[in-house]
Copies of this chain bind each other. A is one copy, B any other.
Amino acid sequence: MEQIRNYIDKNKGRFLDELFGLIRIPSISAKKDHKPEMYKAAEYIKKSLLDAGVTKAEVMETDGNPVVYAEKIIDNSKPTVLVYGHYDVMPVEPLELWKTPPFEPEVRDGKIWARGADDDKGQLFMHVKAFELMVKTQTLPCNVKFMIEGEEEIGSPNLGKFCEQHKPMLKADIILVSDTGMIAQDIPSITTGLRGLAYWEVEVTGPNRDLHSGLFGGAVANPINMLAKMISQMVDDNGRITIPGFYDDVLEVSKQERELLAKVPFNEDAYKKAIDVIELSGEKGYSTTERTGIRPTFDVCGIWGGYTGEGSKTVLPSKAFAKISCRLVPNQNHEKIAILFKEHFESMAPKGVKVEVKIHHGGQGYVCPIDLPAYKAAEKAYIESFGKRPIPVRSGGSIPIISSFENILGIKSILMGFGLESDAIHSPNEKFPLFNFYKGIETIPLFYKYFAEM
């Protein structure tokens, strides 16, 4: 432990400089014209891993953005940890809300400010540096493999196939991931559940062109009015989603587990203040922690149609669009839900409009049992670095590929996330506290140590 802290102290400035080099590459996977940046980021990671001590590193092609694979095999009789992370980031709009440019990282108030500072460049870089630390201090206790992809933020559409094609290469005993959060800097936690995701784009078409709202208004169905009506019918007054069959596979969480969940520290006033809302709302009969952890949701992520420019234009538009997503809970099948919604929403089309639903990417939920050896090893690592037993929590977020790993590779994942809720991932002014970055680098080698001992 002494040795770990010393190594970090001596190298902390360089760690940061190297991370900033990665952050400066605007590797936004949702934008097709950012392809060169994706390769640049992949090559950067390959070089970082070689510098850190892997014996083999490769930028491997997929049908989409490349995957960086690297490994250091020290002894085939020892266990193998497969580190997963992603070098792609979310779009940065609305740009005008950023206090400093998203791809020009800087340290203010003890935090790194930039897109990707936390999700996931900052967190994946902790693994590169923790690995370097173990190599340089000759404490690496087991084999390590790295698989760093560039399409996580668009649903990892090609990583499943990549895993299918490279099963022997990816053979490991556990997958180690830092792409989630912890409760607070003094309350470490390990994510034991992830929600699944289904995502759609809907298009409502009324007349074949924008019409004069005076000459036609009142007689022709307005696609925006109709889209609003359809959306409003998707969630009832109790906050329950109305898609027929939607809850069929939702496992009701036991009274015992809900009692444990109720012990997760939650300060409603602070939560509301942080996002500036007066009242919270959601599914009746569930707490905020439950609403985000163990219950599915229905959110419109974007909507557009008609005249949205300056001033007023009296138009009855031809089309209206929305991007819609549902967070799902572990036992729900995202492909089944995607079709249930599509069929239901298209069948709801009011008189005079046509409705078309396109299915975007989705993913399954995931559960990590707390009696898994890897969980026990992680727990010990946190106890040593934080001086506290970590709390097992269910996250509301989705990392669809985690359940695919289990299905395709047959390997469980352990989610050691070091982000904070206040890091504003996916939002303007994303940040990552230096404390968390260095604490991650300190905790990860301890996990390797205890995991190799199990």
Contact = CB atoms under 8 A, between A and B. Distances in A.
A189 B235 CA distance: 48
Nearest to A350: B281
Interface stretch (A1-9, A223-231, A330-338): A223-231
Given A309-B91, A425-B212, A292 B218 contact: yes
Nearest to A181: B215
Interface in A76-96: 90-91, 93-94
Nearest to A321: B308
A218 B308 contact: no
Contact of A351 (B213, B281, B292, B361): B281
Interface residues of A, number: 100
A270 interface: no
A187 to B, nearest CB: 16
Contact of A323 (B298, B307, B322): B307
B310 A219 contact: no
A174 interface: no
Contacts of A232: 225, 228-229, 231-233
A44 to B, nearest CB: 23
A94, A278, A302, A309, most chain B CB atoms within 10 A: A302
Given A218-B295, A281-B221, A315 B209 contact: no
Nearest to A273: B208
A155, A219, A325, most chain B CB atoms within 10 A: A219
A197 to B, nearest CB: 7
A388 interface: no
Given A214-B397, A281-B220, A396-B218, A313 B302 contact: yes
B210 A312 contact: no
A242 to B, nearest CB: 13
A169 interface: no
A404 interface: no
A154 interface: yes
A216 B303 contact: no
Contacts of A322: 224
Given A209-B275, A301-B314, 10 more contacts: A181-B215, A207-B276, A210-B426, A210-B428, A212-B425, A215-B395, A216-B292, A217-B292, A219-B282, A303-B305
Kindly list the 4 A-B residue pairs having the minimum CB-CB distance in the complex, ordered from nearest: A214-B397, A302-B306, A232-B232, A208-B276
15 contacts: A91-B313, A210-B428, A211-B426, A212-B425, A216-B396, A217-B396, A219-B281, A219-B288, A220-B277, A220-B280, A224-B303, A277-B353, A312-B325, A312-B360, A313-B426
